[in-house]
Amino acid sequence: MTNKEFARLRKKLDKTQKQMAQLLGVSIKAVHSYEQGWRSIPTHAERQMLFLVSNRRGNSKVNKPCWAIKKCPPKKKQECPAWEFKSGKLCWFINGTICDGIVYKDWKEKMKSCRSCKVFANIL
């Protein structure tokens, strides 16, 4: 997540830097540093920010679960944590999902794939 995207999403949530700091469990100075680009945004803050944006009342444009959108084969679908936990609209949030037949090793690798996916794009 870039500093500009972080600031845009904070504004989309209609939160001040202080309020965002409280939601993320970080200092206001950290939020200021994220938005200025002085400090990289840690994974936990990025995930929390995206989760809050995705769950904003009336925000979801995703009508189908990821496995229907991506047309996952039954065997892969049954192995995927998004299917197991019936979280097809939050697949991008769950580590260990089998997107495009691949289990990504970490959050950054997973997000590279998610950013080009219709499920994730609909929350931004």
Q: In angstroms, rounded to a whole number, what is the distance separating the alpha carbons of residues 46 and 28?
A: 15
What per-residue string of b and e applies to 107-122 under the rule 16 or more CB within 10 Å gives b? Answer: eeebbeebeebebbee
Q: Predicted confidence band at 59 (pLDDT cuts at 50, 70, 90)?
A: low
- Nearest Cα to 23, choosing from 6, 4, 36, 38? 6
SS3 content of the chain, % helix, strand, coil (to 5): 55, 5, 40
The highest-confidence range among 6-15, 49-58, 59-68, by mean pLDDT, is 6-15
99: phi then psi, degrees, rounded to nearest 5: -85, 130
| Residue 57 reports pLDDT greater than 70 | no
Q: For the domain 3-54, what is the CATH code?
A: 1.10.260.40
Q: What ranges do the domains of the chain cover?
A: 3-54, 66-121
Q: Predicted confidence band at 60 (pLDDT cuts at 50, 70, 90)?
A: low
Task: Give pLDDT, residue 8.
Answer: 94
Instruction: Answer yes or no: pTM beyond 0.75.
Output: yes
β-strand partners of 102: 99
Q: Predicted confidence band at 62 (pLDDT cuts at 50, 70, 90)?
A: low
Task: Give pLDDT, residue 61.
Answer: 62
Task: Give pLDDT, residue 32.
Answer: 97
Q: In this predicted model, what pLDDT tens digit does every residue of 74-123 receive, in sequence order?
A: 888 889 999 999 988 888 888 888 887 788 888 888 888 888 888 888 77
Q: In angstroms, rounded to a whole number, what is the distance separating the alpha carbons of residues 124 and 12?
A: 9
Q: In the chain, which ranges are E strands?
A: 98-99, 102-103
Q: In this predicted model, what pLDDT tens digit does every residue of 3-31 receive, in sequence order?
A: 999 999 999 999 999 999 999 999 999 99
